[in-house]
Structure 1
Amino acid sequence: MGLFRSIVGGISNLFNRNNDGLTITKLVDLLNQGYSLLQINSNIYDIPEIRTAINFVAEKIGSVPFYHVRADNEGNMDMINDSFQYVLTVRTNKYQGPQVFWTHVATMYLLNNNAFIMPDWDNRGNLTALYLLPFTQFQFAQEEETGKLIIQFQGNSSYTFYYDDIIHLQRFPTFKGGASKQATGNYITMVNAMENQAVKDSETSGRIAGLLQTKVNLKSSDMKKKLNEFKDTFLTAENVAGLGMIGSEYELLPFNFKDTPLNTEFLNSIIKQLYNYFGVSYEIINNIASELQYEQFVDNTLKPIIYQIEEELTYKLFSKGEISFYNKIQAETVDLEISTLAAKTAFYKEMSYGTIMTRNEIRRRLGMPKGPPELDKFLGNKNFQSLEPGIYEVGGQENNPEDGK
């Protein structure tokens, strides 16, 4: 495995027609300089509701383990302990472990509708790291000499790669890659406007809330004196005893000077639409979703992203020969599907009694040490036993053993 990569030595990954390719060293240097991978569309990510929705989905994606597996013609799959497995399960790059890396990738994917990952190989063709690229603007072209598809990233400098050397995750796919713009413009404008109003209402809580009216006509200067006299008397009493007193010569008229009071019901409606746009619901984020709602969230939001990651990693990390021998990257999504204790109990019970999993396999998934050898055998279940032809007797009750023959 990896013989072809040993020959090319990873050179094609750094291909650039201008001889100014983005190497791992340059990428790490950008990160060391504080180059933010989320600079683009940061105004979107600064909205708390959007950050909550994106982070919720991204953390779920980051919790899914990916493995290098090899299958056979009978459908059996074995995990392979090699450089792919190390990068996928132990340390994805010098800065990040798998959970943080995939959370970061999913965040970029949801923010920008595209995420680009650059594999790093050693001289022997072994995978050493995966790096998230800090690009959102790109275009496709075709190399004249070879006819290969090229992707060019635009930034402070222009970087060009063979498209087959870059892992590309696309949201809202188009003919030339994922859509480059979000469809949240109007929602964001409305949420920003309403939240800005809420901030102003908080900052200006001292605006006129009532009118103090006297039963005697006063001049402007006298009005000011009376108002100060009232405030001194009223506020002093309030601070000391929690009670206020007003004389019979005054009348206090409540007054709301707000032009447009904050419509919280409408704001919540818009926020729910934003949650839906990023594939999550208000109920799920606030932990009040039903089992069915959570199952739909897994099937409709998480699994499509996970499947795309599996497909891209398999195609971009393995050669055609390796894929023909059933090498692939596979995610384990069982823990997503059985999120509650009741669901886990039912799942493992059915897997055990249905002779689908051995009890030692269940112990491994639960993080428990391996049990005695008999737990490697499938649990006996009469529903799955085949009886040889013959005459059988069914015993009766204990007090009448002849009954039931």
Structure 2
Amino acid sequence: MGLFDKLFPHRPPGGSPRAYFKTLTAYQPVYTTYRGGLYEMALTRAAVAAFARHCSKLHLGIAGDFRPELRPVLGQQPNPWMDASKFLARAATIYMVQNNAFIVPLEDAAGRLTGYYPVLPQQTSVREYGGQAYLQYEFWGGQQAAVELSRAGLLTQHQYEDDFFGSDNRPLAPTLQVMHTQDEGIVNGIKNATTIRFLARLSANLKPKDITAERRRFAEDNLAGNDTGVMMFDSKYADVKQIESAALVVNPKQQELIRGNVFEYFGTNEKILTNTYTEDEWNAYYEGCIEPFAIQLSLVLTAMTFTPEQIRAGAAVIATANRLQYASNNTKLNIVTQLFDRGFLTHNQGLEIFNMSPVSDGDRRFIRKEYAEVSDVSKLNTEPVEPKEGKGNGDHTGDS
């Protein structure tokens, strides 16, 4: 059994759904994947890869007491072919490049959910069969499959025109074209600069075949086989000049404009791509890019995993990140100091913030004893204690 059959062991009864699901916007609910372009350019791939790397560090956990057997699946191995880090990176990459990321459920023989797999179909459409909506996939290998929309996961961004799918990256196409043209121009300029090394002007008019023969003779005598360092030419040549090859550099202002367009489109910046960000810069990137993806992924996986009744009872899949890993040591110290003795953090949680190993018996919580609940303040003895004589109160007896 191949990967396709393991991902899609079931088929809709009576064949594949054919009729398109009717939408409010009257758009045909079809999304076609565009291969190439955005992910093939160095700068845009760097922006996507940085996003995927940070998303791969999210932790998938379960809130509530339902489906405890899925905790290790979400936290360690969402499917037999990917660990949790690869699953998150793959889903984030597809999401950023295509503005749509599809997750299909893995099930056992009894139809129980056992895992999750992100797929990249060539085309996806929402079809209707028997009064139920299906996501129908067509893959590059020619395979077709369908899964109930209620069972599948769909993450989108830039969703405006379509009721189900996010729009493509057409607004970035002019910038990609300029980037491609600049890259080609640099390559061709370097080739030309290294190909033509000398310019020789003949003093007389010659036939084309004689010019070709003379060019070859001049090169063999003065360039290829010359070990003296001296070039000689006779009166056939009016002038010979050496062409100095110069590196072709793109206009810095134009290059900055291109990079600015890409950074604005992906919500990133130079420091995120080069891992030179500060604590505040990381927090801004997390809140602007990583957190929205984590929230949507949590909601999508929650809907795939639990029934509406279980969700109302508090069951949820939560994607979290330890943002304190990127904080400065001073910030970490202040947080641990302020929260540990107030019972917010355990000993092991404080160690985790500093990337240190847990200790045995380190999961207890502590509070400072002088704290009391507001409602119990009136019960406290607030009267000053009178010092006792002879107990270091500063009074001395006897002669001085």
TM-score band by shorter chain is 0.7 to 0.9
Q: CA deviation at 1:142?
A: 3.9
Per-residue CA deviations over 1:129-171 (Å, capped at 9, x if unaligned) read: 212223152233444x43x333333443543332101111111
Structure 2 gaps of 5+ residues are 1-7, 18-31, 396-400
Contact kept? 2:76, 2:83, Cα under 8 Å: yes
Letter matched to residue 101 of structure 2: A
* 8 Å contact from structure 1 (residues 135, 154) kept in 2: yes
Q: Which residue of 2 aligns with 1:305?
A: 293
Equivalent residue, structure 2, for 1:339: 326
Q: 1:152 and 2:152 equivalent?
A: no
Q: Using the TM superposition, give the Cα deviation of residue 391 of structure 1 relative to its aligned residue in structure 2, in angstroms.
A: 0.5
Question: What SS does the corresponding residue of 1:173 show, helix, strand or coil?
Answer: coil
Could you tell me which amino acid in structure 1 is paired with residue 298 of structure 2? E
Question: Judging changes above 3 Å, is the alpha-carbon distance between structure 1 residues 209 and 160 closer, same or farther for their aligned structure 2 residues?
Answer: same
- Which whole-Å CA distance do the structure 1 matches of 2:339 and 2:370 have between them? 15
Number of equivalent positions: 350
1:368 aligns with 2:354: no
Match 1:284 to one of 266, 272, 294? 272
Displacement, 1:370?
3.3
Aligned-residue offset at 1:266: 1.8
With over 3 angstroms needed to count, the CA separation of the structure-2 counterparts of 1:394 and 1:190, relative to structure 1, is farther
- Could you tell me how far 1:359 is from its partner in structure 2? 1.6
Q: What does residue 163 of structure 1 align with?
A: 149
Q: Percent identity, aligned pairs only?
A: 15
Q: Please show how residues 76-225 of structure 1 align to structure 2 within 5 Å.
A: 82-124=68-110, 126-143=112-129, 145-146=130-131, 148-155=132-139, 156-174=142-160, 175-182=162-169, 183-208=171-196, 211=199
Matched residue SS, 1:177: coil
Tell whether the 8 Å contact from 1:114 to 1:170 is kept in structure 2 after alignment.
yes
CA distance in 2, matches of 1:276, 1:383: 49
1:139–1:176 CA contact under 8 A, matched in 2: no
Q: 2:382 maps to which residue?
A: 390
SS of aligned partner of 1:378: coil
Higher alpha-carbon Rg: 2
Q: 2:258 matched to which residue of 1?
A: 270
* 1:352 pairs with 2:344: no
Deviation at 1:210, TM superposition (A): 5.8
Letter in 2 for 1:267: Q
**In structure 1, how many angstroms separate the alpha carbons of the residues matched to 2:393 and 2:111?**
72
- After the TM superposition, which of the residue ranges 107-116 and 361-370 deviates more from structure 2? 361-370
Match of 1:19 in 2: 15
Cα distance change on mapping 1:277 and 1:326 into 2, 3 Å:
same
Amino acid paired to 1:200: N
Kindly indicate whether the alpha-carbon contact (under 8 Å) linking 2:37 and 2:176 is maintained by their aligned counterparts in 1.
Answer: no
Q: Within 5 A, what are the aligned runs for 1:52-71?
A: 52-70=46-64
Out of 363-372 and 219-228, give the one that drifted further: 219-228
Given that residues 33 and 121 in structure 2 are in contact (C-alpha distance below 8 angstroms), is that contact kept between their aligned partners in structure 1? Answer: no
Deviation per CA, 1:188-224, whole angstroms, max 9, x where unpaired? 101111011122233333244565689xx68878986
1:47 aligns with 2:31: no
Which structure 1 residue ranges, 5 or more long, are not aligned? 1-11, 22-37, 71-77, 238-243
Read off the aligned partner of 1:68 and give its amino acid letter: I
Q: CA contact under 8 A between 1:69 and 1:328: conserved in structure 2?
A: yes
Q: 1:202 to 1:131 in 2, by over 3 A?
A: same
Partners of 1:228 and 1:360 in 2: CA distance: 77
